[in-house]
Structure 1
Amino acid sequence: MVEDSLQHHFVVTLIGDLLADELARMRPLESEFWKRRQWHEDDRLVAKHQSTNDSGNDEIAVDSLERLALAGRIVQFFHMGDSGVEDYLLRRDSLSDWAEIVLKSRQVHSRNVTVTTSGSTGQPKTCEHSWSDLVNEVNEFVNVFNNHYDLFPSRVVALVPSHHIYGFLFTVLLPHLTNVPVLRGFKAYSHVRNGGLRTGDIVVGFPELLTQLATEISFLPPGVLFMSSAGPCPASTLHQLYAKGAARAIEIYGSSETAGIGYRCEPENNYRLLSRWRSNLETPQLLTDSQTQNTFELPDNLNWQNADEFKIEGRIDKAVSIRGTNVFPAHISNCLKQHPEIADASVRPMQPAEGSGLKAFVVPQNSASMEMTEQNIKRWLAERLLAVEIPEHISFGERLPLNIMGKTSDWAIDKPVN
């Protein structure tokens, strides 16, 4: 396996996903556009005053502060600080040029990467990972595929972005190390949905999308592996994939802070701990890196069956996974309460029969307010939150729904509480 610096096209992919993520953060009203955009090495960042009306789709007009933020995100992810070449990002325009600068930095400085996540307040948190640790993890999974499951990857079908740790491991590092091609974007989705998969494909997805695709797939060739992460995948989805002919459907458990921690291939099974980690049965929420002896506090309640196997029994930080992204209902609820016409609010994930996104319950300051429409609130939230954080459905009532203990309870959508 090749373990040296990343290939140029993988760096271009990573840069495109990082730019999309940062532009979505800076321009929340355009977030869906940037997340859907297909990025290419000829794409160029140009100053807004230099952009012309007849410029092609390969120009991205940014102001000086946006350009600084975009370059800063690349420096952060690729650990380029003090490399001596990071300033060249401000002197070059194309993604191809930026990839060359990144590769030069990796030759002279560091090959580590730094991913970001959201904390309980929605503020980004940086998580640095050693290149050797990530390579070792991917090699361990390749060994599991080959020796335990008799599966040999020949192509990766990527349904997740590359700049999160899960996407980086399995849609960048795995194909880099095994020298196999990658399908991305709509082409990848189309191949899964419309019968384009072939023996040796690894489909890297997340629970909501795999749940949708499991109902649309008619049949699968032998030797196709599905992977899911970023939250629990419904057992019914995994059983459907097996019924359609999946060779394996593997759930990966991990976090932005730790990378992968464990895996399982049957929803009824325990997760098996990866070799890097040592459990602490006396303090179940702590993991120890067997090489560095560093300890990590896990975001979930784990029930250890033995030193190497565990079950997951819910999040500690109350995050929920929506379309592969962890979001925090409490943070969204607090944002709603900042609206001048909202007295109180509650946000929860929808029930399976209701949908796969979030729902909100809003108590207006004044029941006669003309501003309290679902669309007006969503537009107001779009200026403050990412698209994935905006509730799909908003209910209204004179008070929040409460249970018999007086605590906020769930509600059926379209059924206001009077």
Structure 2
Amino acid sequence: MANSLNHHFIVTVIGDLIADELSRMRPAESEHWKRRQWHEDDYLISKNQVTKDDGDEAVAVDSLERLALAGRVVQFFHMGDSGVEDYLLRRHSLSEWAEVVLKSRQVHSQNLTVTTSGSTGQPKACEHSWSTLVEEAHAFIRIFNNEYDISPNRVVSLVPSHHIYGFLFTVLLPNLVDIPVIRGFKAYSHVRNGGLRAGDIVVGFPELLTQLSTEIPPLPPGVLFMSSTGHCPPGTLHQLYSMGAARTVEVYGSSETAGVGYRSEPEDNYRLLPRWRSHDSNPQCIVDRQTLLTFDLPDSAAWKNDSEFQIKGRVDKAISIRGTNVFPDHVADCLRQHPDIADATVRPLVADEGTGLKAFIVLQRHSENAMTEQSLKNWLSERLLAAEVPQHISFGKQLPLNTMGKACDWAIDKP
């Protein structure tokens, strides 16, 4: 069982890979693709072959898009040189693609390659050995059973399956213990409208859990919430506890490392997972106990002892928005490419302003009356992911500066 991956889980991952790749190639359609629920009967069809008889299960792509989609699946499932990867271009349905993946895993590598969710250009590919991922999933099963006295009966997934966090907890873990998974709007509805039950593992991310924490009805006993991809506000976790959550577990890690540490109280230190040990001389690194390879942490860490640490902030200045690592400087660079913009700065919204980004724009003189906030958002939506498009855009004759002449924050106009 540890070496196998069920067909329906592979279909789920393939669907999320297709959605992610189409979102990158067609930014204006990103929300459509990421909301879509994928099924075994969904299939790819050439744009010039679509007819009125093709239903919702048909996904029209051109030849270059089809190559990119197949390439993404080959990369994720480590199918290169398997000898069967070319069959993806001869098959059409997600079920058929899953069969090709299964064959590749039988005759070739079972390792996986995930990509970072950041927005700094080409995503970084991060390879993980299958055995290491299986060991991590088993480690969390033991934590749930032995430390939290919770036996997982069902996973309620609010995250995509193709990132390392989603794969570990909404694909690999339920695959190992043979429990069902609900996804998409059905999963959201279960959380929001009282459909949870004892043994549910709700896998979410900070922004969505913050929203849901004030909307959910009282919880039944034995429900565990998980959060990752970024800092979850302590108030959110305390609110979930007040509604009856048995545990709220924050997982710290990255695409490069998979899980590194965990905690169940926001004031606690993170505890290292069994795979890792702290570096002897560099607090910004951890060491794989088995391979002795060293990995950089993406955040500034303060170690309390050899196995416990606190996180002090991102090193690379990324922020997590709806589960996607977004770089404000990258968004500002994109804005400066607009021919009517002289300069721009981008910052995250502060707590009382909402979640997401805000931008301040200085227009070229000839354009001061020719651009609106909505027209600029439309322009950005064709070039950036939805999470990267600022929620609020302000205009002025110069970028905001404080009395010392340094860049500073600015207030937004609230509706």
Query: Would the alpha carbon gap of residues 301 and 111 (structure 1) be closer, same or farther in structure 2, given more than 3 Å must change?
Result: same
Aligned-pair distance for 1:118?
4.6
Equivalent residue for 2:174? Answer: 175
Paired residues of 1:120 and 1:317 also in contact (CA < 8 A) = no
Instruction: Provide runs of 4+ in structure 1 moved above 4 Å.
Output: none
Equivalent residue for 2:377? Answer: 378
Equivalent residue for 1:186? Answer: 185
Query: Would the alpha carbon gap of residues 248 and 173 (structure 1) be closer, same or farther in structure 2, given more than 3 Å must change?
Result: same
Distance in 2, Cα, partners of 1:258 & 1:184: 25
1:241 correspondence with 2:240: yes
SS at match of 1:245: coil
* RMSD, matched Cα: 1.1
Alignment gaps of 5+ in structure 2: none
Equivalent residue for 1:404? Answer: 403
Aligned-pair distance for 1:403?
2.3
Alignment of 1:349-368 (within 5 A): 349-366=348-365, 368=367
Paired residues of 1:252 and 1:262 also in contact (CA < 8 A) = yes
Equivalent residue for 1:322? Answer: 321
One-letter identity of the residue aligned with 1:280: H
CA offsets, 1:179-220, max 9 Å, x none? Answer: 000010000000000000000000000000000100001200
Equivalent residue for 2:114? Answer: 115
Aligned-pair distance for 1:38?
1.2
Paired residues of 2:285 and 2:294 also in contact (CA < 8 A) = yes
Alignment of 1:209-288 (within 5 A): 209-288=208-287
Distance in 2, Cα, partners of 1:292 & 1:281: 16
Distance in 2, Cα, partners of 1:242 & 1:288: 34
Alignment of 1:17-416 (within 5 A): 17-118=16-117, 121-366=120-365, 368-414=367-413
CA offsets, 1:71-119, max 9 Å, x none? Answer: 0000000000000000000000000000000000000001111000155
One-letter identity of the residue aligned with 1:211: T
Aligned-pair distance for 1:406?
2.4
Paired residues of 1:367 and 1:398 also in contact (CA < 8 A) = no
CA offsets, 1:46-84, max 9 Å, x none? Answer: 111110133200111111100000000000000000000
Query: Would the alpha carbon gap of residues 193 and 119 (structure 1) be closer, same or farther in structure 2, given more than 3 Å must change?
Result: closer
Aligned-pair distance for 1:404?
3.2
Distance in 2, Cα, partners of 1:75 & 1:120: 22
CA offsets, 1:118-138, max 9 Å, x none? Answer: 557232100000000000001
Distance in 1, Cα, partners of 2:139 & 2:251: 13
Distance in 1, Cα, partners of 2:135 & 2:178: 16
Paired residues of 1:320 and 1:326 also in contact (CA < 8 A) = yes
Distance in 1, Cα, partners of 2:150 & 2:366: 60
Paired residues of 1:154 and 1:181 also in contact (CA < 8 A) = yes
Distance in 2, Cα, partners of 1:367 & 1:269: 55
SS at match of 2:304: strand
Aligned-pair distance for 1:366?
1.6
Calculate the TM-score normalised by the size of structure 1.
Answer: 0.97
Distance in 2, Cα, partners of 1:412 & 1:367: 26
Aligned-pair distance for 1:332?
0.4
Distance in 2, Cα, partners of 1:119 & 1:29: 18
Aligned-pair distance for 1:18?
0.2
SS at match of 2:300: strand
Aligned-pair distance for 1:4?
2.1
Paired residues of 1:281 and 1:307 also in contact (CA < 8 A) = no
Aligned-pair distance for 1:256?
0.2
Paired residues of 2:298 and 2:316 also in contact (CA < 8 A) = yes
Distance in 1, Cα, partners of 2:131 & 2:406: 48
Paired residues of 2:119 and 2:325 also in contact (CA < 8 A) = no
CA offsets, 1:277-327, max 9 Å, x none? Answer: 111252111111111111111110000001100000000000000011111
One-letter identity of the residue aligned with 2:101: V
Distance in 2, Cα, partners of 1:299 & 1:181: 33
One-letter identity of the residue aligned with 1:262: G
SS at match of 1:330: helix
SS at match of 2:194: coil
> How many equivalent pairs are there?
414
SS at match of 2:124: strand
